[in-house]
Amino acid sequence: MKILVCISKTPDTTAKIAFADNNTKFATDGVQWIINPYDEWYALVRAIELKEADASTVLHLVNVGGADSEPIIRKALALGGDEAIRVNSENADSFNIASQIAAIAKDGNYDLIFTGKETIDYNGSSIGAMVAELLDLPYISHATKFTLDGTNATVVREIEGGEETDKAALPLVVSCQKGMAEQRIPNMKGIMGARTKPLKVVEPVAAESYTTVASFDLPPAKAGVKLVSADNPEELVRLLHEEAKVF
């Protein structure tokens, strides 16, 4: 079996967010980059578990990004990927990114494609569905559990108010979220081995781009804390009713 895991680069959750060029670009100075947590903790680790259960499994990684993505790709290889492909493109349009991934997937003839449910910077949750459509493959989103019986997959996914169990035959595209696997940390053997694992750089295929960023805006600043004396419960009730709109 051949598995392809989509890896994206996102700012660390503690990074201070700022914008440049009249609020049309993300300011990258001083930002620490990480593997998108949904890609790393759930998609990649579940793929590694499948590889551990079947030593014949081949696990490849794909990233669409510039050369500055290579440190996070190497970390993903340290966790357990066999080799990686970086599509040399910094186009942020979702359809364009999905087109690059689909081209790699089609060329590699993969049985299973894992993505994170979304990236923590744009929260678009669109890549997996687009890749599946471009490849004309079944797609299951927001998966919390994934098991294989030969070439047949059973996938539990989160839905409003509960969960749903789906069955599908490979090849298949799945987006992953919390529950799919437990977070892992690369060990020294993995880190050393990642240095020599193949990381192939390819140029992007021709693909349309349908969206551009008009502007970014920071959320409104949070209001200050109001302290209410324990001797004045009437004021607390008034604030909850008139300002917090609790009741």
Computed from CA positions of residues 44, 46, 52, 56, in that sequence, does the dihedral angle turn out positive or negative? negative
Strand ranges (E), 104-161: 112-116, 139-149, 152-159
Residue-wise pLDDT tens digits, 52-83: 999 999 999 999 999 999 999 999 999 999 99
What pTM was computed for the model?
0.87
The tally of CA atoms less than 13 A away on the side-chain side of residue 124 is 17
Number of CB atoms found within 10 A of residue 244's CB: 10
Q: What is the DSSP string of 71-94?
A: HHHHHHHHHT-SEEEEEE-----H
Residues above pLDDT 70, as percent of the chain: 100
Q: What's the CA gap between 66 and 89, in Å, rounded? A: 6
Domains and CATH numbers, the chain: 2-218 (3.40.50.620)
187: three-class secondary structure by DSSP? coil
Computed from CA positions of residues 116, 120, 121, 124, in that sequence, does the dihedral angle turn out positive or negative? positive
Task: Check residue 47 and give its pLDDT.
Answer: 97
Q: Give me the amino acid identity at 247.
A: F
